[in-house]
Amino acid sequence: MVRVKSMTGRTWMILGIALLLPVAACGGAEGAGSPTPTSERPADWGEGMTYDDCTEQGLTDYGVRTGQRWIGDFYADLYPCAAPTTSTSGAASPPTTDSTSASATETVSTSTQPTTTAAQPAPTSTTTSGPLRGLRYQPVFTDVRTILDHEFAMPLQVVGRPGGQYNYMITREGRVWIVEEDTFSRSPVLDLRDSVGIGSESGLLGLALHPDDPKRLFLNYTDLEFDLILVEYQLDDSLRTAIPSTARVILKVPTRSDFHKGGMLQFGPDGYLYMGVGDDGYSFNGQDPTTHLGAILRLDIDGGEPYGIPTDQPPLTEETPEVYLYGLRNPWRFWIDPVTNIIYIGDVGSDSYEEIDITSLDAPGTNFGWSVLEGPVWGPFNEGVACSENPDTCDTSGFTAAALALQHSPEVCAVIGGVVYRGAAMPELAGTYFYSDACGGFLRSFRWNGTLAVDLRDWTDQVEQQRPLYSFGVDTEGEMYVMTADHVFRVEPVR
């Protein structure tokens, strides 16, 4: 019998929406904190206009940020704003920005962050098909669970090696597919349904492809006891079929519950494999780097048997040298941008806030503060409650604040971390990070300038709300996908 934590009414509501989505269950309700008081916010500074004001006046040359202003929910960046210098400018027509959205309160942290590579200015489009006017969702697959006749066959990830031959997709019940027109009339690449445990937040959760060897496929799933299994399979010469006999278990992470599994896998630009692991539903794991739980692990899967520890990785503890970043609750989806070497982590919150955490991969040991903190407030469990009662005894100077904290509302319950866009179809959006929420089903974005999330935009009115939205993906060409319980969409430009 697997023991699990009791769930609040809010958790059951989310699970009902999500049909046992492996990210939506949230923690207890032992008392929430309050939003950051006005007196603690940094003062407004600089001159200029907000992005909304600029675009309402038809000014598309935003220039360099000249200041910021609190506009009710978050800090809006200010720009000099001028008319375009030529009539052939490729600047995008503006979507609705978060400053006019009432669906969620977003607090942009201005706390000091580790030094990161500064985000590059949004490039001018070189496309000849006209300026970017918006985005749309192009259906790739619809009614996946009905087609596969399986309640838990939710599409959870689309992955393609840059320039590779195929795009691969996982469905939660345990199968791997190749994305093509007749995908579901063909045999799957791999079928692990007899090995994958399905519960509240479990299943086949993540997939990664070796950056140098197209025959090597890596999966992250929960077994029948709900322990996390990181396994490698070899593909045959066609790259369409995994060879079962080649299965190589790389890492097993024992757990005590069916909650907060994380699940994401991705190779970084350094060639190492990164793995997100949740706190297993036990909040104290977040601040314990002697466990693999509540952390991002970094493995050299070519450096030993079954793996090695990268030589440039200072071990936080002798017990778990794999831990690279920690202080996380449930990093369901993260994304490593190979251009800037920055990781964006969507960390599913508990009682008050959802977080997007950002740091450079050159900052090992970064601690994001859970469960002492949840967003900008004290955490709701023992660690945070103790600090709220005796704040002078708690040193938070070693924590890295959330880059973006989304306060809970009917539209915000479980953040879905997305991807940094680097495709060719929308060069205007290069370097833009997209994200969503399981309850809100919106599509929002921002750019990270090394200190702040800037250019916050809400594209939901253009693409139409899709909820529950569960995951993102990127294909061989760098184009972006979003996934719901039943559908897979490719994000395409409107010109």
- Under the banding of pLDDT at 50, 70 and 90, the label for residue 421 is very high
Model confidence pLDDT, tens digit, residues 8-18: 333 333 333 33
3 state SS of 432: coil
Can the peptide bond before residue 371 be classed as cis, meaning omega within 30 degrees of 0? yes
Q: What is the pLDDT of residue 175?
A: 98
Model confidence pLDDT, tens digit, residues 435-468: 999 999 999 999 999 999 999 999 999 999 998 9
Percent of the chain with pLDDT over 70: 78
- Under the banding of pLDDT at 50, 70 and 90, the label for residue 66 is confident
Residue 398 is assigned to a structural domain of this protein = yes
Q: What is the pLDDT of residue 76?
A: 62
Residue 215 is assigned to a structural domain of this protein = yes
- Under the banding of pLDDT at 50, 70 and 90, the label for residue 101 is very low
Q: What is the pLDDT of residue 17?
A: 36
C-alpha–C-alpha distance, residues 176 and 140, integer Å: 16
Q: Give me the sheet containing 204-209, strands edge to edge.
A: 204-209, 216-222, 228-235, 242-253
Please count the residues of the chain. 495
Residue range 370-386: mean pLDDT, rounded: 96
Q: What is the pLDDT of residue 455?
A: 96
Residue 346 is assigned to a structural domain of this protein = yes
- Under the banding of pLDDT at 50, 70 and 90, the label for residue 77 is low
Residue 223 is assigned to a structural domain of this protein = yes
- Under the banding of pLDDT at 50, 70 and 90, the label for residue 129 is confident
CB contact burial 134-150 (16+ within 10 A = b; e otherwise): ebebeebbeebbeebeb
Residue 36 is assigned to a structural domain of this protein = no
The residue ranking higher by pLDDT, 119 or 386, is 386
Q: What is the pLDDT of residue 65?
A: 59
Residue 283 is assigned to a structural domain of this protein = yes
Q: What is the pLDDT of residue 63?
A: 60
Instruction: Please say if the pLDDT value at position 291 is more than 80.
Output: yes
Model confidence pLDDT, tens digit, residues 18-59: 333 433 444 333 333 333 444 444 567 778 887 667 767 777
Instruction: Please say if the pLDDT value at position 373 is more than 70.
Output: yes
List the beta strands (DSSP E) in 286-361.
Answer: 295-299, 323-326, 333-337, 342-347, 353-360
Q: What is the pLDDT of residue 409?
A: 95
Q: What is the pLDDT of residue 78?
A: 72
Q: What is the pLDDT of residue 331?
A: 98
Amino acid identity at 408: H
Q: Which DSSP symbol is given to 182? A: T
Residue range 295-322: mean pLDDT, rounded: 96
How many domains does one find in the chain? 1
- Under the banding of pLDDT at 50, 70 and 90, the label for residue 80 is confident
Residue 43 is assigned to a structural domain of this protein = no
Instruction: Please say if the pLDDT value at position 393 is more than 70.
Output: yes
Model confidence pLDDT, tens digit, residues 229-253: 999 999 999 999 999 999 999 999 9
Model confidence pLDDT, tens digit, residues 277-287: 999 999 999 99
CA separation (Å) from 175 to 96, 184, 257, 295, 349? 38, 11, 23, 26, 28
Residue 83 is assigned to a structural domain of this protein = no
Backbone angles phi, psi at 329, to 5 degrees: -100, -55
Instruction: Please say if the pLDDT value at position 69 is more than 80.
Output: no
3 state SS of 199: coil
Instruction: Please say if the pLDDT value at position 1 is more than 50.
Output: no
Q: What is the pLDDT of residue 96?
A: 38
Query: CATH number of the domain that 484 lies in?
Result: 2.120.10.30
Q: What is the pLDDT of residue 404?
A: 97
Residue range 462-485: mean pLDDT, rounded: 96
Q: What is the pLDDT of residue 51?
A: 64
Q: Which of 105, 146, 353, 71 is nearest to 369 (CA)?
A: 353
Instruction: Please say if the pLDDT value at position 112 is more than 80.
Output: no
Q: Determine the structural domain holding residue 465 and report its residue range.
A: 9-28+106-494
CA separation (Å) from 137 to 24, 433, 468, 481? 23, 17, 15, 9
